[in-house]
Amino acid sequence: MHNMKHATIFYRSEFAPDDEVVPGVKFGRPEWVPSPAFWAERALQEGPFAENYVSPTGTPLVEDVVFCLLGGYGVKMEINRAAWNRLKRADVLAPQSSPSAEEIELLLRKPLSVAGRQVRYRFPRQRAARVAAAIAFLGSRTFSTEAPLELRSELMSLPGVGPKTASWIVRNWTGSNEVAILDIHVLRAGQIIGLFPTQVTLPRDYQSLEMRFLEFASALQVPASLLDALMWREMRTLTR
């Protein structure tokens, strides 16, 4: 949700273009988009203070959960952020807040200002119900940043939270490299280079795809938290 910079050292990969980074995936060359060499070079270009797309330490979990519930498939990041900002300004995310789904829906139905234009949020009723349920759920429990996989499992009990959304929340809140955010952009990049099969069924295949992605990130010596963010950012731009 927010960007936080911290020191991470990246090493140049010692792969030749025809070497396999992981079985079935050749390294290629940096100028071949979106080859593994391209991603390794992009990570290197981020420098020793690479941007990790995670929240600052101390961010309340409810803020990350609501941000991710408002986003995802069919909602552009800019609209996602504008909707979240509106709820935050209305104190929906404040401690001890217990808004109803109807109150949240009214806020989401009002036009949002995005890049100088008035736009409407696509799923006000559905997402309002999910946000209200999540706020109630989080208010009755405590969570730790030290057990990201356990946190992900707990979050998946919430309405509308599958493995991708739960991984997104966990990454934002903990910065964990034990999870991968496999959205449509990352999946497409992986399919192009042969990292993922062309036919996948989600959420059934999420765990096996994630294991493959984490193996790939390790082979490139790039933290998963940077690699999936780079893939999301670059593929989002390339496919516009």
Question: Mind listing the pLDDT tens digit for each residue in 182-222?
Answer: 999 999 999 999 999 999 999 999 999 999 999 999 999 99
Integer Cα distance of 56 and 179 in angstroms? 18
Model pLDDT, residue 230 = 94
Model pLDDT, residue 58 = 86
Task: Look at the pTM and tell me if it is higher than 0.85.
Answer: yes
- Write out the DSSP string of 16-72: -TTSEEETTEE---TTSTTSHHHHHHHHHHT-TT-EE--PPTT--HHHHHHHHHH-S
The CATH class of 61-174 is mainly alpha
Q: CA of 94: how far to CAs of 126, 163, 181, in Å?
A: 21, 26, 27
Model pLDDT, residue 13 = 65
Contacts 24+ apart (CB under 8 A), 147-152: 148/174, 148/176, 148/178, 148/179, 149/178, 149/179, 152/179
Q: CA of 190: how far to CAs of 22, 38, 210, 214, 233, in Å?
A: 12, 13, 11, 12, 14
Helix, strand, coil shares of the chain, percent, nearest 5, are 50, 5, 45
Give the model's confidence band at 4: pLDDT under 50 very low, under 70 low, under 90 confident, else very high: very low
- In the chain, what are the domain boundaries? 4-53+179-238, 61-174
Question: Mind listing the pLDDT tens digit for each residue in 6-18?
Answer: 434 454 568 999 9
Assign 117 to helix, strand or coil.
Answer: strand
Give percent above pLDDT 70 in the chain. 91
Mean pLDDT over the full length of the chain = 91
The topology (CATH level 3) of 4-53+179-238 is: Endonuclease Iii, domain 2 (1.10.1670)
Give percent above pLDDT 90 in the chain. 83
pLDDT at 158 over 50: yes
pLDDT at 239 over 80: no
pLDDT at 49 over 90: no
Classify the phi-psi angles of 91: left when phi > 0, otherwise alpha if psi is within -120 to 50, otherwise beta: left
